[in-house]
Amino acid sequence: MTDSRTPQTTDRRVEIAAGLARVRSRIADACAAAGRNRAEVTMIAVTKTYPAADVVTLVGLGVTDVGENRDQEAAAKAEQVAAAGVVPRWHFVGRLQRNKVRSVLRYADVVQSVDSVRLASALDSGVTSVGRGRPLDVLVQVSIDGDVARGGAVPDSTDLDVGLGPVTEAVAGAGGLRLAGLMAVAPLGWEPERAFARLATVAAQVRMDHPQATELSAGMSGDLEAAIGHGATHVRVGSALLGKRPTLR
């Protein structure tokens, strides 16, 4: 990883600015097409595999929210970014093992990938034991196709650990956590329209019991328009901003 103090080349800065301009205009167009206010949608720049210097550049261009999916990489990057005097809002969006909870709590403002009662409890105890002082914002990850192997709590399941009802109840009832809303990834092989329409139905059901769960994190580089059409308040964009990642992950 490049040191964040290494000045970034002008070429890279120009490339990132161009990517950002394209993504911002896609978001604006999608909001217009859906009859939504542009201010309702926040872009999270997903910077996994990219160096801290790219995060610093993005923040300099007005990006406020950054996402990472692996603790080891994120912890080091957050430290480098902070050393550069830059403080974005960090979202953890990847699979989270319970033994990584304490590390993630050191830098994450939001955890978007809570998909079991056991993980919610581990985060809640972690918040208490690190003396965080304010609750952690949590999005419950939803499995749109019910395939638990790929992550996500399962709607209409009575499973006491991974059923969506039990997970949202656990987060809402935890003093150290704030249930901010839901997150999902469109399943492989699903039309984004169909996936995000189903997600919108699930989100409306969750809001009947938990009206505070207003955020909906859905849509990535390839499908952000469909997600915005179905009510996404947060889109998580990586490759369309920063370029194709060297490895698929």
Name the site residues for ligand PLP (rule: CB under 6 A): 46, 48, 69, 93-94, 185, 220-222, 236-240
Smallest gap from residue 84 Cβ to ligand PLP (A): 23
Residue with tokens 């196709």: 145
Q: Return the number of the residue (200 or 237) whose C-beta is nearest ligand PLP.
A: 237
Q: Return the number of the residue (139 or 177) whose C-beta is nearest ligand PLP.
A: 139
Smallest gap from residue 67 Cβ to ligand PLP (A): 7
Task: Find out whether 68 and 93 touch, Cβ atoms under 8 Å.
Answer: yes
Q: Return the number of the residue (132 or 245) whose C-beta is nearest ligand PLP.
A: 245
**Alpha-carbon span 158 to 163, nearest angstrom:** 5
Structure tokens at 120: 């919610």
Q: Return the number of the residue (92 or 120) whose C-beta is nearest ligand PLP.
A: 92
Side-chain-side CA neighbours of 87 within 13 Å: the count stands at 3
Smallest gap from residue 97 Cβ to ligand PLP (A): 15
Q: Return the number of the residue (16 or 176) whose C-beta is nearest ligand PLP.
A: 16
Q: In 4-161, which ranges are continuous DSSP H helix?
A: 10-34, 52-60, 71-83, 101-107, 117-129
Angle between helix 52-60 and 71-83 (nearest 10)? 50
Smallest gap from residue 223 Cβ to ligand PLP (A): 8
- Residue 187 is given by DSSP the state P
Q: Return the number of the residue (113 or 176) whose C-beta is nearest ligand PLP.
A: 113
Q: Return the number of the residue (57 or 113) whose C-beta is nearest ligand PLP.
A: 113
Smallest gap from residue 85 Cβ to ligand PLP (A): 26
For 175, counting Cβ atoms within 10 Å of its Cβ (0-12 exposed, 13-18 middle, 19+ buried), the class is exposed
Task: Find out whether 141 and 114 touch, Cβ atoms under 8 Å.
Answer: yes
Smallest gap from residue 242 Cβ to ligand PLP (A): 8
**Alpha-carbon span 192 to 186, nearest angstrom:** 6
- Residue 98 is given by DSSP the state G
Residue closest to ligand PLP when measured from CB atoms: 238
Residue with tokens 């161009």: 18
Smallest gap from residue 68 Cβ to ligand PLP (A): 9
